[in-house]
Amino acid sequence: MSALDAFWVAPSGALLAALNVKQLNSVAKHYSIDVTLPKGAKKSQLLDCILTCLIDRDVLPDERWPEDSKGASGSDSEPTSDSERTSSSKVGRRLRKRSIKQKTLEWEQEIERKSFDDELAQKRLDKELDHKRLEAAQKDKDRELELERFKHLEQEREIKRTRLQLVAEGKLGKSTSQQSGLASMIKFLPKFNERDPDVFFSLFENIASEQNWGDEDKTVLLQTALIGRAQKAFVALPSSEKKVYQCVKTAVLKCYELVPEVYRQRFRLWKKSDKQTYAEWARDLTSFFQGWLTAEEVYSFEELCDLLILEQLKNTLPDRVATYVNEHHVKTAADGAVLADNYALIHKTTARDFSPHSDSNYRQRSRVEMDTSVHSDSVTHGKPSDFDPRKDCNYCFGKNHWKINCPVLLERKRGKGEEGKFGLCSSSVPAQRQWVVNKV
């Protein structure tokens, strides 16, 4: 068997080294190896090229040395001459060198990769540290600038306040006051009226809107116009709230008891005077209604619905329960109903106590009833049962009888020996109806 046939049967580096140039070209053609060597290339160069391609294609093992393969392929594959042994030894040395170089190259590449990763991580950390240092420095700089700005604004505010105070006291001439736009506006400010501070704030806000004043300008000008209780309310405010116009306005209105409930009662109970036209009366109602909505912070249709439903709920509650609900400042009827139920459970209130007619209610029911259900052109005299079907007893708070016929009171009087006495008893009713009962 020739060396080429032996190579086809069991490919090895030793058998490949024993082939001649023609046989090596046959091997290259068989494995489709593109040999790009010059015409004068030596056999060793052709052998190296083919050997490298066969190792890359896993045809020949990289760790298999020619001298170690002795006896592995039988007697037919062993080199029989000195030239074959020499060629096999050279191939083995080349394979060892190639393997060592490859492992060395891989090791160096791994070291370089790890070194590059370490350098990249270090650069990333350095960049993050530099970024944090810059952020900290920028924050410190911004903090210093903000502090300087506050100091500057405080100085300007103090100068304006002093100048306005001097102008108000008449210690500065016209030429000096005209240098400041705010100081020149003092003479245009409306006069504060303690009887109707709402009108003052309405006029003041109109002027402020036309002049595009900010909160600071409005508070500076406002304090020059406040008098009496309003001035005391302003002085009692914390320093931070004195600079906020809305806080100052709320405090002033609160000291005059202009809370949402006051606006609501004015809107509901306001009556037209004889000297007032219907247009003026409608304007007053509009003003009270707007004040009520503003005080309740109602700005949408849904909030308006909640407000009116909550008011109607309070109208059906006894006065003590409505007061309890008002103290918690609820915004919806659902929350108010929960509070009313809790109040009833806590105080163990019976159904009789929640009767719409057993107590005065949130909306001054006596006045409403007088206006809506007791208007009459004539006065009726007689027994109360002739015109009032409710018959609520003011003694035991029972139903279907008056105090004069109260069984509890009569039993008590019998025990004291007062039965059969005569006297006079009267009951307070609206001015349109009166009655007198002669016998107790």
Task: Give, for all 440 residues of the chain, the pLDDT tens digit.
Answer: 677 888 888 888 788 888 888 888 888 888 888 777 777 777 888 888 888 888 877 787 764 444 444 433 343 444 445 555 555 566 666 666 777 777 778 888 888 888 888 888 999 999 999 999 999 999 999 999 998 888 888 888 888 888 777 766 666 544 444 445 666 677 778 888 777 787 788 888 888 888 888 888 888 888 888 888 888 888 888 888 888 888 888 888 877 766 788 778 888 888 888 888 999 889 888 888 887 887 788 888 998 999 899 889 988 888 888 888 888 888 888 998 999 999 988 887 444 544 444 444 555 543 443 343 333 333 333 333 343 445 567 777 777 777 778 887 887 777 665 444 444 444 444 444 333 333 33
What distance separates the 2 farthest-apart alpha carbons in the chain? 161
**Residue that terminates a domain, selected from 329, 353, 373:** 373
- 89 and 194 in a single domain? The answer is no
Contacts 24+ apart (CB under 8 A), 371-380: 374/430, 374/432, 374/433, 375/432, 376/432, 376/433, 379/432, 379/433, 379/434, 380/433, 380/435
- 64 and 7 in a single domain? The answer is yes
- 103 and 42 in a single domain? The answer is yes
- 327 and 271 in a single domain? The answer is no
- 22 and 116 in a single domain? The answer is yes
Residue with tokens 């914390």: 238
- 278 and 244 in a single domain? The answer is no
* Residue pair 311/334 in contact by the 8 Å Cβ criterion: no
Domain annotation covers residue 177: no
Question: In angstroms, what CA-CA distances link 209 with 213, 302, 354?
Answer: 7, 28, 49
pTM beyond cutoff 0.85: no
Q: Radius of gyration of the chain from Cα atoms?
A: 54
Print the domain residue range for 288. Answer: 259-297
C-alpha–C-alpha distance, residues 419 and 407, integer Å: 12
**Residue that terminates a domain, selected from 79, 105, 121:** 121
* Residue pair 427/435 in contact by the 8 Å Cβ criterion: yes
Domain annotation covers residue 90: yes
* Residue pair 64/12 in contact by the 8 Å Cβ criterion: yes
Q: Extract the tokens encoding 287.
A: 């003003």
Question: In angstroms, what CA-CA distances link 260 with 84, 250, 298, 329?
Answer: 116, 11, 11, 10
Task: For 252-320, give the secondary structure using H, E and C.
Answer: HHHHCCCCHHHHHHHHHHCCCCCCCCHHHHHHHHHHHHHHHHHHCCCCCHHHHHHHHHHHHHHHCCEHH
C-alpha–C-alpha distance, residues 310 and 305, integer Å: 8
* pLDDT score, position 167: 67
Q: At what angle do helices 301-315 and 319-327 cross, to 10 degrees?
A: 150
Domain annotation covers residue 150: no
The candidate with the shortest Cα–Cα distance to 230, out of 195, 202, 178, 184, is 195
Question: What phi, psi does 318 have (nearest 5°)?
Answer: -60, 160
Residue with tokens 């949130």: 362
Domain annotation covers residue 36: yes
- 345 and 269 in a single domain? The answer is no
Domain annotation covers residue 148: no
* Residue pair 406/393 in contact by the 8 Å Cβ criterion: yes
Q: How many domains does the chain have?
A: 5
- 424 and 314 in a single domain? The answer is no
- 117 and 17 in a single domain? The answer is yes
Domain annotation covers residue 57: yes
Domain annotation covers residue 419: yes
Domain annotation covers residue 16: yes
Q: Which residues pair with 318 in a beta bridge?
A: 361
* pLDDT score, position 183: 66
- 290 and 316 in a single domain? The answer is no
